[in-house]
Amino acid sequence: MPTVIEPKLIAGNANKPLATAIARRMSLYRGMSVGLVDARVERFNDQEIFVEVYENVRGEDMFILQSTSRPANDNLMELLIMADALRRSSAARITAVIPYFGYARQDRRTKARTPITAKLVANMIAEAGIERVLTMDLHATQIQGFFDIPVDNLYASPVFALDIMKHFEGELEDVMVVSPDVGGVARARELAKRINAPLSIVDKRREKPGEIAEMTVIGDVTGKKCIIVDDICDTAGTLCKAAEILMNHGATEVHAYITHGVLSGPAVERVTNSVMKSLVITDSIAATDAVAAAPNIRVVPTAPMFAQAILNIWNGTSVSSLFETDTLGPIYEGIL
């Protein structure tokens, strides 16, 4: 009889807690132990990255768990070197599970003589021997087209919808979903449809990168519990100012649901001192001590969704089924 190839997980150093949680979830779903492949991913004194896999992976279906978050270059190189090590060890297939895809904001040329770094990273990933990518909430969906290999892009909105329906139970008629800019309208509209809420937009105009000259609210938010939806929160300057503008326009509360909590520099302090009642992020990026200690920042887990997506890829079933709230509801029962 042919041998059944089991899915095997290997993790870099970017987000070990999430990797461990995914393995634990897969063990629960399969009714058998699924652990992380024993390996070392370390640095020499000159900061060169070295990878050694201690287990036999010949002919195995390998999944590398690695966000390319801060430090982006180190984590990206870890991913590429792990892929090379597995390819040279005769793994049957290598899938990169990248909860947060770094460099995604460099997806087009904004002015003359600038790179399209997201395309460069896509080329590097494919050349390293990776045959499939699983990620979540790409900053720009067209990045999927930068790859000549299959890309599965999961969405956080079904998970956010479940969380909102639980935490705003009985108050959903007062909820309004807000896009913090015109470019994010599609993402905000998707969540608004899931919870049957109206949509508003904060139109922002920038004088130069990092500075916002003017903000205008499109839509009546008077008496509403506003939920700002976005994919990335970096320094939180735009987010906190948008919350302030909404409160000034009559909103009773402002919450934010952001997929990737980059939260660099003064971000945590800004969020803590802002008018926002809560900021909800996923664990696609490992939370720092400051994030964990912040009283108005909450983290929702993505391990149940990623574990199921990995199993679906492994056994050749639909990944897009995880876009539906009805599918994710049982997976997240008792978690949110």
Q: How far apart, in whole angstroms, are the C-alpha atoms of residue 281 and residue 302?
A: 10
Beta 132-136 vs 93-98: how paired, if at all? parallel
- Does 48 show up as a binding residue in the annotation? yes
* Buried-state track 284-313, b at ≥16 Cβ within 10 A, e below 16: bbbbeeebeebeebebbbbbbbbbbbbbbb
Whether a cis peptide bond, with omega within 30° of 0, leads into 158 is: no
β-bridge partners, 256: 228, 279
Q: What is the separation of C-alpha 14 from the centre of its chain, rounded to a whole number of angstroms?
A: 13
How far apart CA 45 and CA 49 sit, in angstroms, is 10
Does 236 carry a binding-site annotation?
A: yes
142 is in an annotated binding site: no
Question: How many C-beta atoms surround the C-beta of residue 53 within 10 A?
Answer: 19
* Cα 59 from Cα 20, distance rounded (Å): 23
| Strand 39-43 versus strand 49-53 pairing type | antiparallel
Q: Is 66 annotated as a binding residue?
A: no
Give the number of other CB atoms < 10 A from CB of residue 48.
10
User: How far is the C-alpha of 217 from the C-alpha of 117, rounded, in Å?
Assistant: 33
289 labelled binding-site residue = no
Whether 59 has a binding-site annotation, put simply, is: no
Dihedral of CA atoms 281, 182, 137, 144 in degrees, nearest 10, equals -160
* Residues 10 and 39 sit within 8 Å (Cβ to Cβ): yes
The answer to whether the annotation marks 220 as part of a ligand binding site is: no
260 labelled ligand-binding: no
Q: Is 326 annotated as a binding residue?
A: no
**Does 105 appear as a known binding residue?**
yes
Residues catalogued as catalytic: 204
> 308 a known binding residue?
no
Cα–Cα distance measured from residue 90 to residue 192, given in angstroms and rounded to the nearest whole number: 46
d(CA 305, CA 308): 5
CA-atom Rg of the chain in angstroms: 20
Q: Which residue has 């979903």 as its token pair? A: 177
Residue 163 labeled ligand binder: no
* Strand, helix or coil for residue 297: strand
Q: Which residues are annotated as a binding site for D-ribose 5-phosphate?
A: 206, 230, 234-238
Q: Which residues are annotated as a binding site for Mg(2+)?
A: 139, 181
Q: Which residues are annotated as a binding site?
A: 46-48, 105-106, 139, 181, 206, 230, 234-238
Q: Which residues are annotated as a binding site for ATP?
A: 46-48, 105-106
